[in-house]
Structure 1
Amino acid sequence: MSTPRLVAKIEAEEPTLRLAVLIDADNAQAAVIEGILGEVARFGEATVKRIYGDFTSSNSASWKKVLHKYAIKPVQQFAYSTGKNATDSTLIIDAMDLLYTRRFDGFCLVTSDSDFTGLATRLREEGLVVMGFGENKTPDAFRNACHKFILTEVLRPTQPEPEKVSDPKTEAAGVAAASGTTIRVTTAATPEKPQLPRKFMLSALEQSSDESGWAHLGTFGSYLTKLQPDFDSRVYGFKKLSDLVKSRQDIFMTDERTVPGREQKQLYLKPR
């Protein structure tokens, strides 16, 4: 269940959580580090940024290029034996050392490895906010051990659309059409977005609504995270939860209400 501190910091204008960002180099991608740190900045300040792995290995080459740029402290860990992951143990020991300093409000664990489920659970037992970052393959056990889990796929930088140039295949197809010859041209398939979990969202809306049946967007979003820590509107193609709600008028009714004494408006919704 999400802690009141996490919800308060999410809704606050200035994030103040002191966070320790710990990265498992063996189970994380360097290509998304900018997106991860940007996401962390939404919730608080990354007071500590450390990455754990064997940086003498060629597999860590991509990480070496970004460590200085983002001021991430590398913690070298040699593999003691084949098939054993010494990196996990080092990260967990460091996390517990940082925990007992009592200087942090939360931890950000960047990994797709379920072996850190116990660590996430232990940190939560101490009343700290735990945020997880991992790929879609991350097991549910680790996802649900976090207050909030964010898929790194949605944090990948978008590639600019290439300029239109003459396509040899298209030209060949035109020549073939003129000559009566058939040429089969294949294109790369675009990955489909997952289907919106309508039943789950309506269940969260029911729990977050008041006696009139209306729910504040912030309260609704908080319940979504409580029920499913890895829920993220960006997975379904929407930058914000408000954009998702407004686009699905077949499911939700929306009402923008003016806050008394302020020009700001707040969004409320109810099932249609």
Structure 2
Amino acid sequence: MSAGSNGHNVGLAVLIDADNANPAIVEGLLAEVAKFGVASVKRIYGDWTTPALGKWKAALLEHSIQPIQQFAYTSGKNATDSAMIIDAMDLLYTGEFGGFCIVSSDSDFTRLASRLRESGKVVYGFGERKTPKPFVAACDRFIYTEIFTSNPETEEATIKRKSAQELRQDTKLCHQLRQAIEAASDDEGWANLGPVGSQLAKQMPEFDPRNYGYSKFSGLLEGIGLFTIKRENNQLLIKDQRPGKKA
């Protein structure tokens, strides 16, 4: 479904904004990154002289993430963002990486994501649901980190499975699903699940069935109840049920 999902040997640079990420997500984050390629570089940026980042220590040691020190020259975190952007460009110019994973909920990385993609690199963004839309849209794929918090102390801890009614009320989701099926369908209106997923990822970089409480794309499609699904030659095919669609 994702760009680069077949390139498991692709070298990836994982760059984490410590001010805008939670150490509770690290294990799930790195497991997700492993689906896209090999995390050849894992760096996390922040002012490590501040007590606020102390909670990261155990996670860094356990997962071999290299902390990069960046003093806050003035109030705010622009110095950290700048250091992360400069490092990303340095890594880009080495030509050794097929993709970049930017872990932050900060819109300051929007232009960086666009620039990396302009150079032919795949960009995976990871951030909370509050992440501004421009940054989400600038990535090939954007994964909301709430899905990684298995035992959290926050209200977003558990993503409950949405009912068919709730899914149908999500007009954006339904519209994007129908557009993706239309784009991938044959003359009879049937579309293979794989191409539909790929098309949907292009339309909605933030799409993930786990955001709706479903572990698989096929489960979400069955749950919404608006599409006909059949298995043929070990492939799942899907069709829009609406009257007037291709028959």
Calculate the TM-score normalised by the size of structure 2: 0.87
- C-alpha displacement at 1:158, in angstroms? 4.7
Structure-to-structure mapping, 1:8-157, within 5 angstroms: 9-10=4-5, 12=6, 15-157=8-150
- C-alpha displacement at 1:137, in angstroms? 0.4
Q: Do structure 1's residue 217 and structure 2's residue 210 form an aligned pair?
A: no
- Which deviates further from its counterpart, 119-128 or 209-218? 209-218
| CA deviation string 1:6-44 (max 9, x = no partner) | 64x42x3x7121100000001111100111100000111
- Could you say which residue in structure 1 is the equivalent of 2:230? 255
Match of 1:238 among 189, 214, 223: 214
- C-alpha displacement at 1:244, in angstroms? 1.1
Match of 1:270 among 221, 239, 243: 239
- Counterpart amino acid of residue 268 in structure 1: L
Between the two proteins, what is the percent identity of the paired residues? 51
Task: Kindly report the root-mean-square deviation, in angstroms, between the aligned alpha carbons of the 2 structures.
Answer: 1.8
Task: State the alpha-carbon separation in 1 of the partners of residues 67 and 58 from structure 2.
Answer: 12
- Runs of 4+ off more than 4 Å: 190-194
Task: State the alpha-carbon separation in 2 of the partners of residues 148 and 119 from structure 1.
Answer: 14
Q: Do structure 1's residue 201 and structure 2's residue 177 form an aligned pair?
A: yes
Task: State the alpha-carbon separation in 2 of the partners of residues 253 and 133 from structure 1.
Answer: 32
Task: State the alpha-carbon separation in 2 of the partners of residues 102 and 213 from structure 1.
Answer: 42
Task: State the alpha-carbon separation in 1 of the partners of residues 151 and 76 from structure 2.
Answer: 35
User: Gaps spanning 5+ residues in structure 2: where?
Assistant: 153-157, 242-247
Contact 1:55 1:64 in 2 (8 A): no
User: Quick one: higher RCO (CA 8 Å, sep 6+), 1 or 2?
Assistant: 2
- Could you say which residue in structure 2 is the equivalent of 1:172? none
Tell which structure's C-alpha radius of gyration is larger: 1
Calculate the TM-score normalised by the size of structure 1: 0.80
- Counterpart amino acid of residue 257 in structure 1: E
- Counterpart amino acid of residue 57 in structure 2: K
| CA deviation string 1:44-103 (max 9, x = no partner) | 100000000011111101111210100000001111112352100100000000000000
Task: State the alpha-carbon separation in 2 of the partners of residues 84 and 73 from structure 1.
Answer: 19
Number of corresponding residues: 228
User: Gaps spanning 5+ residues in structure 1: where?
Assistant: 160-189, 259-264
